[in-house]
Amino acid sequence: MRYGTDTQKLTTEEVRCLFERKNRIIFEEKENTNFNYTIDFNVEAYTNFIKLSGITTELSDIQVLENIGLVKNGVFNNAGVLFFCKNVYKFFKNATVQVFLYKGGSEFDILDSKEFKEDLFSNFKQTFEYLELKLNTEYVIKDVFRENVLELPKVALREALLNAFSHRDYNSNFNIQVHIYSNRVEIINAGGLLDNLKIEDLGIKRFPRNVLLCDMFQRMELVEEAGSGIKRIKHLMEERDLRVDFEVDDVYFKVVFHRNVGSNDANVGNNDPKMSSNEPKNDPKMSSNEPKNDPKMSSNTLKKPNKKQRKDLILRRLEENKHKVSYYLLLEEFGVARSAIKRDLNELKEEGLIEFVGDKRTGVWRLKR
């Protein structure tokens, strides 16, 4: 490589990183002339994007997507195709997600397998829902409300999946794979660490492989802060006293969630809620489905918190997390409409309890000091 009159020889690793960056740009921004808007455009995927991103505009879908860099002169690029196609397999056979469920701790006995082939967000959502279905849950009483708690932290699983979708190498023929064993869950994507990053740098240094894809997930508020996913996974697993490992080489990245069960007694593929140690057992006054005789609990409070309870919980979550709590996470916890969460946050702001810091897309809600 020449700098002025001097020539500097790149190392093999620097050459590899240079080509990886080039391939990343080529893949994301390359026009995809095989995509036919009339036939292939997924209206439902676009509607989901508009809803999750909170965009309100009178512009056409093409104009909106041109403004965010997914369409140029009416032609979709590869990133736009990934997010708004009806069948990703039609365009990129490597962009599907394969999920395998095993009886034990090895690959010898497959109980079930799925392959998700729709748009990027639908594939992410369906994969996450499959994980929820096949992992175990337990009833836990928390903040007066009864919750069905997954054996592995939901947010950690979601972060790992989002990482696989947004940071994978789409030039590789290797698609995203999720393996559910009796003693662990593995999420694997193509693409090693970029630019001489080391595994100990995970959660500290940030270097996105696919800038447009990461930007889209952030616009949809599926990620809370760019580059913070690995750190959050580690923290959430430590909170539950669970182990997580990260494995990486030149061609793949793997996250291994260790389940808190042995391979011989795991309840794989049977998501039956169990009573946690925090809830009374073998009490004839208490049914297995709903606590009774507790003046603090009614059948309504066990289902969804009301506005006052939601606002109290939002304040508590902000105090606990010390970072942005996205609409997506609050929607999952409270099970209410997005508009209700927005109203709650705006009311808390008007009451002088919280403040929004930063721009509309990447800013954060914080407790007001």
Instruction: With a cut of 50, list the residues of the chain below it in pLDDT.
Output: 1-7, 10, 12-13, 15-16, 24, 262-266, 272-302
pLDDT, residue 90, reads 96
pLDDT, residue 245, reads 93
What's the maximum distance between 2 C-alpha atoms anywhere in the chain? Answer: 87
Write out the two tokens for 167.
């940071």
216 close to 83: Cβ distance less than 8 angstroms: yes
Which residues have CB under 8 Å from 116's CB, separation 6+? Answer: 96, 97, 99, 122, 123, 126, 127
pTM over 0.85: no
Residue 95 CB neighbour total at 10 angstroms? 21
Domains 97-258 and 304-367 share a fold: no
Which long-range contacts does 48-54 make (Cβ < 8 Å, 24+ apart)? 48/121, 49/83, 49/84, 49/121, 49/216, 49/219, 49/220, 51/338, 52/219, 52/220, 52/221, 52/222, 52/328, 53/219, 53/220, 53/221, 54/221, 54/327, 54/338
Write out the two tokens for 369.
């000091």
Alpha carbon distance 194, 188 (integer Å): 16
255 close to 246: Cβ distance less than 8 angstroms: yes
pLDDT, residue 123, reads 96
71 close to 63: Cβ distance less than 8 angstroms: no
CATH architecture of the domain with range 304-367: Orthogonal Bundle (1.10)
Amino acid at 276: S
Q: Which CATH class is domain 97-258?
A: alpha beta
pLDDT, residue 321, reads 65
Domain spans, the chain: 2-89, 97-258, 304-367
Q: What element of type H or E holds 350?
A: helix 338-350
**DSSP SS3 for 86:** coil
